[in-house]
Amino acid sequence: MSPPSLSALADDLLLLAQRANWSRLGDQFSGPNLRFQFTDLVGLLALLLGFVGLVVGLHFALQAAKRNESRQSHTGLLQKLAATHRLTRSEQRLLRKIASQAALASPAEVFVRPELFTAGSSALGDQEAEARRLAKRLFSKG
C-alpha cells in the first residue's frame, strides 16, 4: 500500500476545514432562523402555475389526439359521411347495423355497396322499409 499523495491530503484537510459550513447548511430552514421571504412565494407560485399549465397543455394535446384519431378511423369516416348526407341518428344506427351484419372491414363501405340494403342480403326484419328508403336516398341519381 502506497502512502497518500500530497494532493489527496490537501483535499482531506480542505474538507475538514469546511466542516463547520457543511454542518450549518440546513439551519436556515428550521428553528429561529426560519423566515418566510417574498421570493419564496413567487417561486412557489411560478412552480404551481407551471404545473397547472402542464396539466392543461396535456389535456388539450390528448383531446386533439382523440379528435385526430376519430377522423382517421373507420368509424370516424362513417360519421363524416353520415353528416355529409345529413342522416338522422336512427339512419346512422341502421347503417352501422347493416355494416356489422355484412362484416365489412370498414363500416363506411355501406355508402358504396347498395346491394347491402336489399332484403336478400340482410336480415333487417322490420327495418327493411327504412333500409330501402335510405338506399334510395343514398344511391339515387339526381
Dihedral sign computed on CA atoms, order 11, 14, 19, 24: negative
- pLDDT for the residue numbered 71: 65
Over residues 6-31, the pLDDT tens digits come to 788 788 777 777 777 777 776 667 77
138: pLDDT strictly greater than 90: no
Give the three-class secondary structure for 38.
Answer: helix
Q: Residues 112, 103: contact at Cβ < 8 Å? A: no
122: pLDDT strictly greater than 60: no
Residue with cell 369516416: 77
* Residue 77 burial class via C-beta count within 10 angstroms: exposed 0-12, middle 13-18, buried 19 and up: middle
pTM for this predicted structure: 0.47
Arithmetic mean of pLDDT, 28-56: 86
Lowest mean pLDDT across 41-45, 71-75, 78-82, 123-127: 71-75
Arithmetic mean of pLDDT, 113-136: 78
**Residue 86 or residue 33, greater confidence:** 86
121: pLDDT strictly greater than 60: no
What is the rounded average pLDDT for all residues in the chain? 82
